[in-house]
Amino acid sequence: MSASRLLLLPPPQRLLVCAVGAVATHITLSAISVIIPALNNLQPPPPPPPPSEALPPSKTSALVSQLYSGSPSFSPLSLSPACTFHDPVALCVGRAEVSECFRALRVACAPEHLSEPVPFHRSEDPPAPEGGRAEFFYLNQRYFGFLSVASVLRVDTGPDGLVTAIEERWNGRPLLPLSWCRRVNGVASCLLTPIVARE
């Protein structure tokens, strides 16, 4: 519908048309954000290093294993109050949202390791957080009992050892510049999953 025709509509109909258009746009961009990195044949992540070259496990390694195995022993206190989680689906901000995101993952998606997360790089240099560290992991996961997903995971920790940011890149592909769209999904997820993903 052209802008001129839209302006001729009564206000209630104009609002409805705009709302439908906004929802359709959001759904389309969300689908693009998810589908492109989910295409395995475009850019699969490099294989993990052999055990002789892998980094030794760290405190963060244990946390990543808990988060992505669906372990109920995960403690939200290991996250900073302003922690963020970002993947192709959603952007969650704050300890409460991120904790709810992984609780819902455990309850609704049946996550399991096809192989243990492998740490392959650690750095205390920029772009790592000041006084903290950035760690990178290979993830090889299965969800719902049939969906296999390989990812590169970045976990930032602050000087106090608390996790400040988690970013998951499906098939190693960088996230598309649609953060605002994923933020809407993150807020909606935090509001809805306590209702639909009960333990």
Residue 30 has pLDDT above 70, yes or no: no
- CATH architecture entry for 1-199: Roll (3.10)
Find out whether 138 and 117 touch, Cβ atoms under 8 Å.
yes
Number of helical (H) and strand (E) elements in the chain, helices listed first:
5, 6
Burial class (CB in 10 A: 0-12, 13-18, 19+), 195: exposed
Greater model confidence, 25 or 136:
136
- Which residue in the block uniquely carries the two structure tokens 């939200």? 76
Tokens of 107: 């309850």
Per-residue pLDDT tens for 153-184?
Answer: 999 999 988 999 999 988 888 887 778 788 88
Per-residue pLDDT tens for 10-29?
Answer: 666 555 544 454 444 445 54
Mean pLDDT of 62-79: 87
What's residue 153's pLDDT?
93
Q: Quote the radius of gyration of the chain (alpha carbons, Å).
A: 19
| Helices 179-196 and 95-109: angle between axes, nearest 10 degrees | 60
φ, ψ for residue 19, nearest 5 deg: -65, -45
